[in-house]
Copies of this chain bind each other. A is one copy, B any other.
Amino acid sequence: MQDTAVNTAQVLAQAPIFSGLSEDELRFMVQRAVSRHFSPGEIVFGEGDPCSGLYVVAAGHLRIYKSSAAGREQVLSIDGPGSSIAEVPVFDGGNYPASAAAVDRATLLFISKQDFQALCLAHPQVALKVLRVVGARLRQLVGIIEELSFTTVRHRLASLLLRLAQKEGQRTTEGVEVKLPANNQELASQIGTVRELVSRNLSRFQAEGLLRIDGRSVIIRDLEGLEAAVESSA
């Protein structure tokens, strides 16, 4: 259990929405935060569920997504340690606008609506911090809309690969190596399409010599070429 046991105080202190709180204030929240563990794939809440409070990711990753009647999913965001989840429904009183599930083994801290609202009223800076976080989320969503509305699957996939390369790419003699972080089905959900198109477009990139596929890792051989695929028809 060590891997998911967490120091509540430390986690909250590092969460953007609580940064800058005094020790006393932090202690107050720590006392009220309840920690919950989730296994991979386990659902934290479903779209439309009533919201009773806010979560802060202590360990692991959370996947926020929408599901369609036809069985497709669209990922809105993947959040790691320090991220707060469900700030919106806490404040507008509505239900969760999307579902959330654990990606891996995850530990979340739960803070009730009442406690958090009280904190915000007592400490206006906290509300401003929350606004900043929600703002970032809103920008992300606008980015997704832009990609879905203006670009092709090919473009979005290239874009995802470049983002991965940027974040966690390993330089090799042949090019930048990226480990695909999930199976094709999941990548498809992240860029708003189906697994077959991810597969096909990866193959196509390979056929064009832009990259080489080696199992679940991709070696980008022609970074400029891939960037060009993003620029064109952007």
A120 part of interface (Cβ distance < 8 Å): yes
Interface size for A (C-beta < 8 A) is 43
Verify A149–B234 contact, CB threshold 8 A.
Answer: no
List CB contacts (< 8 Å) of A49-88 with chain B. 66, 68-70, 72, 74, 76, 87-88
Verify B136–A127 contact, CB threshold 8 A.
Answer: no
Give every chain B residue within 8 A of A150 (Cβ-Cβ): 66, 68, 70, 72, 74
Give every chain B residue within 8 A of A40 (Cβ-Cβ): none
- A120 to chain B minimum Cβ distance, whole angstroms, is 6
Chain A positions within 8 Å of B, measured between CB atoms, are 66, 68-70, 72, 74, 76, 87-89, 91-92, 94, 97-98, 117, 120-122, 124-125, 127-128, 130-132, 134-139, 141-142, 144-146, 148-150, 192, 233-234
A135 to B130, CA, bound (A): 11
Verify B149–A149 contact, CB threshold 8 A.
Answer: no
Give every chain B residue within 8 A of A132 (Cβ-Cβ): 91-92
Verify A138–B139 contact, CB threshold 8 A.
Answer: no
Scoring A87, A92, A117, A145 by chain B CB atoms within 10 A of each residue's CB, the highest score goes to: A145
A142 CB contact (under 8 Å) in B76, B125, B139, B192:
B76
Verify A148–B192 contact, CB threshold 8 A.
Answer: yes
Verify B192–A135 contact, CB threshold 8 A.
Answer: no
